[in-house]
């Protein structure tokens, strides 16, 4: 078993103790039975005995046999060592803070503005990284495992504290009602005195221009006409439809105009007698034919 294993197994001093060392630093154990012993220096404290870091523990066999000679009175000169001092815990990086106030263009304090603390992403050489559009790439900053989200109070004030020294940016995530959202991140620097300085960073928001209120849609949507064709009315409308012919000029007839003959009064009577005679002839012929048949 190694000495380290013995130290772990017997972390607290126990069993036999030697006499205190004399002026020359010597001590001895008495009445030890044969066997192997693990010996280390201990120091008495208010909380009991603790292992000293000024000497190296060692093993002793009783009796000690050297060159076939049995030695029962063994003298050991333990090696001294410089006590191992545990390294001091790493120092926490210094931190600081900053104070802000949110106002409009007239200097009036604005409540309810929301911000997020971010920093710029860097490459291995410490250069800021840009995206394909040439814009800087930002990432959220965390404090105690949570994103740093800030809101301006009724007086427009808000602050951040506990940040390591360096450069940061504020990104506005929600502007007060009636004001424009900031389009660019706001840079600020944390130093040893940044939080204690009397200077408060002022952030100005511009008012939204007055706009036209949106139209309210009607409660009932307009009806859509059916696909069935409309049947024409059976009765004519009450109002007559007057068609006016176009003004087409009348062309005079070509060639001479034949004369119009108007019959005289005596000529009309002659025509009537002739017609009556023809009718009587036809009637007589029809009667004669009918008699012959019978």
Together in a domain, 121 and 164: yes
Q: What is the pLDDT of residue 176?
A: 93
CA pair distance 102, 106, nearest whole angstrom: 11
Is residue 220 scored above 50 in pLDDT? no
Mean pLDDT along residues 35-41: 73
Of the given ranges (74-78, 85-89, 136-140), which has the lowest mean pLDDT? 74-78
Structural domain span for residue 56? 3-71
β-bridge partners, 114: 151, 174
- How does residue 219 score in pLDDT terms, banded at 50, 70 and 90? very low
Of the given ranges (27-41, 103-117, 118-132), which has the lowest mean pLDDT? 27-41
Is residue 161 scored above 50 in pLDDT? yes
Residue at 149 is within a domain: yes
Query: Cis peptide before 229, with omega less than 30 degrees from 0?
Result: no
Q: What is the pLDDT of residue 275?
A: 76
Residue at 146 is within a domain: yes
Residue at 9 is within a domain: yes
Q: How many C-beta atoms lie closer than 10 Å to residue 58's C-beta?
A: 14
> Which structure tokens are listed for 230?
């409309």
β-bridge partners, 43: 50
Return the CATH number at 137. 2.60.40.10
How many domains, the chain? 2
Q: What is the pLDDT of residue 36?
A: 74
Residue that has been written with the tokens 């106002």 in this structure: 103
Q: How many C-beta atoms lie closer than 10 Å to residue 103's C-beta?
A: 16
CA pair distance 185, 172, nearest whole angstrom: 7
Share of the chain above pLDDT 90, in %: 36
What mean pLDDT value characterizes the chain? 75
Together in a domain, 20 and 105: no
Mean pLDDT along residues 238-267: 55
């Amino acid at each position: 078993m190694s000495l380290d294993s013995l130290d772990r197994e017997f972390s607290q001093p126990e069993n036999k103790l030697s006499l205190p060392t004399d002026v020359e630093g010597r001590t001895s154990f008495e009445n030890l039975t044969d066997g192997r012993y693990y010996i280390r220096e201990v120091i008495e404290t208010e909380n009991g005995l603790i292992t000293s870091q000024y000497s190296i523990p060692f093993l002793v066999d009783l009796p000690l046999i050297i060159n076939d000679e049995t030695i029962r009175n063994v003298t050991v000169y333990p090696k001294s060592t410089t006590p191992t001092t545990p390294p001091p815990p790493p120092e926490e990086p210094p931190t600081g803070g900053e104070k802000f106030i949110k106002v409009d263009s007239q200097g009036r304090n604005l409540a309810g503005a929301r911000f997020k603390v971010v920093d710029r992403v860097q490459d291995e050489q410490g250069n800021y990284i840009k995206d394909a559009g040439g814009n800087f790439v930002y990432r959220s900053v965390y404090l105690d495992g949570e994103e740093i989200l800030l809101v301006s109070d009724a007086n427009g004030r808000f602050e951040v504290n506990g940040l390591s020294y360096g450069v940061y940016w504020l990104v506005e995530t929600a502007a007060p009602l009636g004001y424009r959202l900031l389009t660019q991140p706001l840079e600020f620097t944390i130093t040893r005195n940044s939080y204690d300085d009397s200077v408060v960073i002022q952030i100005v928001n511009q008012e939204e221009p007055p706009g036209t209120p949106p139209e309210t849609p009607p409660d009932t949507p307009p009806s859509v006409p059916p696909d069935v064709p409309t049947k024409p009315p059976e009765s004519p409308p009450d109002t007559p439809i007057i068609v006016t012919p176009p003004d087409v000029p009348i062309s005079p007839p070509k060639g001479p105009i034949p004369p119009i003959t108007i019959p005289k009064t005596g000529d009309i009577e002659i025509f009537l007698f002739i017609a009556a005679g023809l009718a009587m002839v036809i009637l007589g012929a029809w009667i004669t034919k009918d008699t012959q048949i019978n």
